[in-house]
């Protein structure tokens, strides 16, 4: 596909150092960020809808503008294995995947976090089979929530670019890997205007890190990863847990520093018009942009509705969520995912975060947008009005789109 941005004049002022406006689809935005972050190794295996990330990086490699090298591997499992090996030598690495490819990686995701490899991976949400389809659905990445990876869900292409840059700095500070996640097609293929800083600005924000406890190729050693039952394993897991908790402060610090450099910040969550809200809609990913419009429209109609965007899913921002929702009458969580046998996964996590609060609002769960179904302004306004009229939430989530029996 020939994107409009390919027909634009040279995009960067190499002398001035100011960010230039570009038109980029989300996949290309991620590729640009990886180039500017100077990833040294990029193991690549294609899968729709993230393949254009590799296509753009391959184009950069052919043109001599990619600082690192790409390696074509035979599977996503192999791609992650190569990322781990390279990271353990101190290299900055990147890979990307979606859906079944991410599922195939699952075993190696645990190895990556357990080995404290600060890998950054771009993930484009797509439904998991069966049935086979290609639309956006967060279940593929949320199914990996217990693998020890940090997870960041991005609203738009600018945020995806910025988060890739931030993720390297965060991961290299806490020695844990990161997933930077966008929605299939709504982000990955839609073209949006965005700012791309020049290399000098990125280098000043993200210098090459000297990673601790890495293997030295000139002085090879053997390390056994087999431990005695319990006595060694448990402290190792506790350290990983503690560092994931420490990551919350690091995420905030890096985001604040990024905002000082580039004028954009995101936080772990974002609250919109929640100060006096009677109802707060909770969203993540690309549907958040629609929710912003709906909140303002409902406010104009006299309804006190707010919005809570959850960006960081791991580590989960429990304290921030409790702070935003304190004093709210009702909460409606709109999930583009489903945990069969329970409900939407963001809804589960939010309920858990609120459980020990002395005063907690009732939480209403909705499933919408699976397989890329459009979550329109009318859909979100309908959810808001329904929740405001309801006295109690349902035990099961309310499905939007498709019949309740799945036919």
Mean pLDDT across 120-137: 97
Instruction: Tell me how long the chain is.
Output: 407
Domains and CATH numbers, the chain: 19-262 (3.40.50.970), 269-400 (3.40.50.920)
* Cα 365 to Cα 304, 335, 384, distances in angstroms: 19, 8, 11
User: Which of 193, 251, 151, 205 has its CA nearest to residue 38?
Assistant: 205
| pLDDT > 70 in the chain, percent | 93
d(Cα 206, Cα 171) in Å, to the nearest integer? 12
Give the closest residue to 387 by CA, choosing from 272, 298, 324. Answer: 298
Place of tokens 């000139």: 218
Residue 24, pLDDT above cutoff 50:
yes
Q: What would the mean pLDDT of 169-195 be, rounded to a whole number?
A: 97
CB atoms within 10 A of CB 132: 9
CA–CA distance, 231 with 218 (Å, rounded to integer): 33
- Residues 312 and 151 sit within 8 Å (Cβ to Cβ): yes
Task: Give strand pairing partners of 152.
Answer: 180, 312
| Full-model pTM | 0.93
Contact of 374 with 366, CB cutoff 8 Å: no
pLDDT at 19: 67
Nearest to 311 by CA among 147, 136, 154, 138: 154
The arithmetic mean of pLDDT across residues 75-100, rounded, is 96
Query: What secondary structure letter does DSSP report for 9?
Result: P
Do the beta carbons of residue 194 and residue 21 sit within 8 Å? yes
* pLDDT value at 261 more than 50: yes
3-state secondary structure of 95: strand
Q: What is the mean pLDDT of residues 147-161?
A: 98
Asked which of 46-60, 231-245, 255-269, 318-332 is least confident by mean pLDDT, the reply is 231-245
Burial letters 203-222, b for 16+ CB under 10 A, else e: eebbeeeebeeeeeeeeeee
The pLDDT score that the predictor gives to residue 210 is 83
Helix (H, G, I), strand (E, B) or coil at 180: strand
Q: How far apart are CA 271 and CA 325, in angstroms?
A: 9
């Amino acid at each position: 596909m020939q994107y409009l941005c390919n027909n634009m004049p040279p995009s960067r002022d190499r002398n001035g150092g100011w960010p230039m406006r570009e038109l980029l689809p989300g996949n290309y935005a991620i590729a640009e960020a990886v180039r500017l972050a100077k990833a040294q190794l990029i193991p690549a295996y294609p899968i729709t809808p993230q393949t254009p990330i590799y296509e753009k990086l391959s184009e950069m490699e052919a043109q001599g503008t990619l600082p690192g090298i790409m390696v074509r591997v035979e599977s996503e499992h192999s791609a992650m294995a190569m990322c781990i090996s390279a990271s353990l030598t101190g290299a900055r690495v990147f890979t990307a995947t979606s859906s079944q490819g991410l599922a195939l990686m699952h075993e190696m995701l645990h190895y990556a976090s357990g080995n404290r490899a600060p890998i950054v991976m771009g993930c484009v949400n797509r439904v998991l089979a069966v049935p086979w389809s290609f639309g956006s659905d967060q279940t593929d990445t949320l199914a990996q929530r217990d693998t020890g990876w940090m997870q960041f869900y991005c609203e738009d292409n600018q945020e995806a670019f910025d988060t890739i840059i931030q993720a390297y700095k965060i991961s290299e500070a806490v020695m844990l890997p990161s997933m930077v996640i966008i929605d299939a097609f709504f982000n990955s293929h839609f073209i949006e205007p965005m700012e791309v800083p020049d290399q000098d600005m990125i280098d000043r924000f993200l210098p090459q890190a000297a990673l601790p406890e890495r293997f030295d190729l000139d002085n090879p050693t053997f390390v056994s990863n087999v431990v005695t039952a319990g006595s060694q394993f448990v402290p190792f897991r506790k350290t990983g847990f503690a560092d994931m908790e420490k990551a919350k402060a690091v995420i905030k610090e890096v985001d604040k520093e990024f905002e000082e450099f580039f004028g954009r910040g995101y936080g772990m969550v974002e609250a919109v018009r929640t100060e006096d809200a009677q109802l707060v809609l909770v969203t993540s990913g690309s549907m958040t942009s629609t929710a912003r419009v709906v909140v303002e429209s409902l406010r104009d109609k006299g309804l006190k509705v707010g919005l809570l965007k959850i960006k960081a899913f791991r580590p989960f921002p429990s304290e921030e969520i409790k702070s935003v929702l304190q004093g709210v009458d009702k909460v409606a969580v709109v999930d583009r995912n489903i945990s069969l046998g329970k409900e939407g996964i963001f809804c589960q996590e939010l309920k858990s975060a609120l459980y020990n609060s002395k005063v907690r609002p009732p939480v209403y769960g909705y499933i919408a947008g699976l397989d890329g179904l459009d979550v329109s302004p009318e859909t979100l306004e309908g959810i808001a009005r329904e929740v405001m009229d309801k006295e109690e939430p349902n035990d099961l989530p309310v499905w939007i789109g498709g019949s309740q029996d799945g036919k």
